[in-house]
A and B are shown apart, each in its own frame.
Chain A
């Protein structure tokens, strides 16, 4: 029974990975690509690790995968924020159909 639930959760995680990679290929701009691709980390790979925990329970591999979920969550969001700030200060333009640019008014 736990094997079935873990397979379903891993399948949901791989589905989110698929959506993130499609967004990484098809969206027009580096900022749009980054917001789509961070979904790969926070929902996709965290779903796979949660399925691993449900399959094995409280043994060594389950506890290690449970520990690595908040580590992955914090690390991917912080690195995405640093990357988009660096790209903005490097001077990469937004897409020409973007309508709002609030980061321009900030004192950076």
Chain B
């Protein structure tokens, strides 16, 4: 089935992003890897919702988008060197 092939390719891409998280030369490279890993997991949730026909998995995807957004903004503020209320 073609959905299985899509799911395998997407999981392999998410594993490929972990290489950049582990081997990043600087701290910003690791942050880029974490950000894109969160986006790819949303795609995995969407394809799993088709494959298993369970409709609540897209809710997990929406919650994952918001959590990834807040996490990346917090890490960027930390990298910039400011306090969080400035």
Binding site for B on A (CB under 8 A): 7, 10-11, 13-14, 17-18, 20-21, 24-25, 30, 33-34, 37, 40-41, 44-45, 48-49, 52, 55, 60-61, 64-65, 67-68, 71-72, 75-76, 78-80, 82-83, 85-87, 89-90, 92
Contact = CB atoms under 8 A, between A and B. Distances in A.
Given A72-B39, A83-B79, 12 more contacts: A14-B13, A17-B13, A18-B9, A21-B13, A25-B19, A30-B26, A30-B32, A67-B62, A68-B65, A71-B62, A83-B75, A87-B31
B62 A21 contact: no
Interface of B: 2, 6, 9-10, 13, 16-17, 19-20, 26-29, 31-33, 35-36, 39-40, 42-43, 46-47, 49-50, 55, 58-59, 61-62, 65-66, 68-69, 72-73, 75-81
Given A17-B40, A48-B43, A61 B79 contact: no
A10 B19 CA distance: 25
Q: Pick the 7 closest A-B CB pairs, nearest first.
A: A86-B79, A75-B69, A86-B76, A87-B28, A79-B72, A82-B76, A86-B80
The dominant DSSP class at the A interface is helix
Contacts of A14: 6, 9-10, 13, 43
Given A13-B43, A52-B49, A80-B35, A61 B55 contact: yes
Q: Which of A60, A71, A83 neighbours the largest number of chain B CB atoms within 10 Å of its CB? A: A83
